[in-house]
Structures are given as C-alpha cells and as structure tokens.
C-alpha cells in the first residue's frame, strides 16, 4: 500500500499551486469503504495515543487550517474523537484578545502546545498571522513576511523537543463552500454556525488561496510537514487524515514501557 503521508505531503521547497490539487478527489474509494476503514483506524489511533501517553517520549501537535466550512470541526469530531480526552486538548484560536495582542504573535500559541505524552489539536493556529492578517491588511507587509521564518523556527524548536508537528490544509472548492453555507442557512440546527462575516472572506477567495499557497510553500518542512487534504467529500477527508495520523504515530516505533524495577515476581495477595 502506498504511503498516504507521501501522497498528500507538500515536499519541503515545493512551490504549491492549489489548482493542481482536486478538492473532490476520493482516491477511487467509496463512501462505504471509507467508513469501514475509518472505523478500523479509530482503534489503531486509540492504541497509538495510549502508547504516546505511556512512553512520554513524544507529543503530537495537529494543526487544522482551511477556508470556512472546510471541516475543521468535523475532523475533530470524527477523527480526533478516537483519542482519549485525558491525553488530548483542543484549542480554537479566534480573534486575539487585548492581552494576546500585547505580546508577540506566537505567545498565545506556545502556551497551548502539548507536552510529551500529550496530543494537541489546533483549530486554526499561528498561520492566521500570515493568512487573515495578510489578506485583511491588519499589519504592514514587512511585518507578516518576517513571520514565515519565525514560524519555521518555532516549529523546528517544537520538533527538537519531541513534539511531532502535523499540519492539515483542508482543501475545499468554492462551489462546495457555497453549498455548505446554503445548507447552514436552510437548517435551523445549523444557524449558529453561520456568520455573515464569513461572506466577506468568501469575497476574497482568490486572495486567501494565494496566502495559503505561500504558507504551504514556505512552511512545509521535514520536521513540520503540510498535507493538502481533499475536503469536498467529508468521508474521504476523514479517511485520509486518519491514515496520515496512524502512519505518523506508527513511524515513531514506540514500545510499551517495561515493568518497573522490583515488580518482577510480585504475588498479589
């Protein structure tokens, strides 16, 4: 079986054009097949997370980015749900607070990174500071351009300290986004998810795509790779991310810790 990690990974130094990646790709897999495969992978991910927790040699940071409605919440529910909440923390990064703005842009991010033995999930992330900030002209260009290097150095530091960084760009088409937005408007149970402000970002679709292409090109490294995930089909999106996470954790070759010294031969009365 070909490596899913290799198939969807942005190789370091590669120049990304999202037009070359089909957001509706399903890899020849049916929805039924994908569901069965994800169910099997859930058990594997749960075991690998327990190994991560038991060994405390590595931590895992999963970064989720994508246009509105691309499925960040869905991934957290259907993929990350395989993890034991005791060892997993989800952080959603919204508009920075006054306190956060008083510090450097990575301050609020670093506080939320996982320790060894833990899994951290970022719903949006430090990349907002080269995406929204860039497109909406919230800071001058010379400021946000320097942030690519700061991000690379930050992620390298995490990797050097045992934190495995995996970043997913959920690649959705503009037409699929329109359909999902209309679905939210049509279903009162989904009204809470709809924000009029999302339409402003949609109106700048091309600018955001260009910003994402730069971020993916400049910040996919050996120690913190980006993966471009076809996201028009939710079930395929979940399968691909599950496979990549299982491959990534499996490649760490973790082993169960041995019995503590002096416990051999103990008889429980």
Instruction: Give 69-104 pLDDT, tens digit per residue.
Output: 999 999 999 998 999 999 999 999 999 999 999 999
- For range 135-148, the mean pLDDT: 97
pLDDT of residue 212: 98
Structure tokens at 56: 């405390």
| DSSP structural state of residue 87 | G
* Residue 1 pLDDT: 44
Averaged pLDDT for residues 148-172: 98
Q: What would the mean pLDDT of 125-129 be, rounded to a whole number?
A: 98
Task: Give me the mean pLDDT over the 178-207 stretch.
Answer: 92
Question: Is the separation of the CB atoms in 113 and 48 below 8 Å?
Answer: no
Closest CA to 218 of 157, 147, 169, 168: 147
pLDDT tens digits, residue range 222-267? 999 999 999 999 999 999 999 999 999 999 999 999 998 888 888 8
The per-residue pLDDT for range 18-64, each reduced to its tens digit, is: 999 999 999 999 999 999 999 999 999 999 999 999 999 999 999 99
CA angle 242, 92, 240 (to 5 degrees): 15
Mean pLDDT value of segment 175-192: 94
What are phi and psi for residue 16, nearest 5 degrees?
A: -90, 130
CA-derived radius of gyration, the chain: 20
Residue-by-residue DSSP string for 95-119: SPPHHHHTS-TTHHHHHH---TT-E
Residue 14, pLDDT score: 97
Nearest to 16 by CA among 242, 227, 243: 227
Phi, psi of 65 (to 5 degrees): -130, 155
- Residue bearing tokens 């842009």: 105
2: pLDDT confidence band, cut at 50, 70 and 90?
A: low
Given a cut of 80, whether residue 162 has pLDDT beyond it is yes
Largest distance between two CA atoms of the chain = 71
pLDDT for residue 55 = 97
In degrees, to the nearest 5, what angle opens at C-alpha 224 toward C-alphas 222 and 228? 100
Q: Could you confirm whether domain 23-250 is CATH 3.40.50.300?
A: yes
Looking at per-residue confidence, does 1 or 109 come out higher? 109
């Amino acid at each position: 079986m070909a490596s899913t990690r290799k198939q969807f990974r942005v190789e370091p130094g590669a120049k990304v054009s999202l037009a070359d990646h089909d957001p509706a790709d399903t890899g020849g897999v049916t929805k039924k097949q994908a569901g069965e495969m994800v169910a099997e992978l859930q058990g594997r991910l749960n075991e690998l997370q327990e190994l991560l927790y038991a060994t405390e040699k590595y931590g895992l940071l999963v970064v989720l980015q994508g246009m509105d409605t691309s499925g960040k919440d869905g991934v957290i529910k259907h993929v990350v749900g395989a993890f034991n909440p005791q060892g997993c923390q989800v952080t959603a990064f919204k508009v920075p607070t006054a306190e956060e703005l008083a510090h450097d842009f990575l301050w609020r991010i670093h506080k939320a990174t996982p320790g060894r033995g833990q899994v951290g999930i970022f719903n949006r992330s430090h990349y907002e500071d080269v995406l929204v900030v860039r497109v909406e002209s919230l800071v001058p260009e010379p400021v946000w351009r320097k942030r690519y290097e700061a991000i690379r150095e930050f992620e390298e530091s995490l990797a050097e300290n045992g934190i495995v960084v995996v970043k997913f760009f959920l690649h959705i088409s503009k037409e699929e986004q329109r359909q999902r937005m209309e679905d939210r408007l049509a279903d009162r149970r989904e009204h809470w998810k709809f924000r009029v402000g999302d339409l402003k970002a949609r109106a700048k679709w091309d600018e955001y795509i260009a910003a994402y292409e730069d971020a993916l090109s400049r910040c996919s490294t050996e120690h913190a790779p980006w993966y471009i995930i076809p996201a028009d089909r939710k079930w395929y999106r979940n399968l691909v991310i599950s496979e990549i996470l299982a491959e990534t954790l499996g490649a760490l070759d973790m082993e169960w810790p041995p019995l503590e010294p002096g416990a051999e031969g103990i008889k429980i009365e």
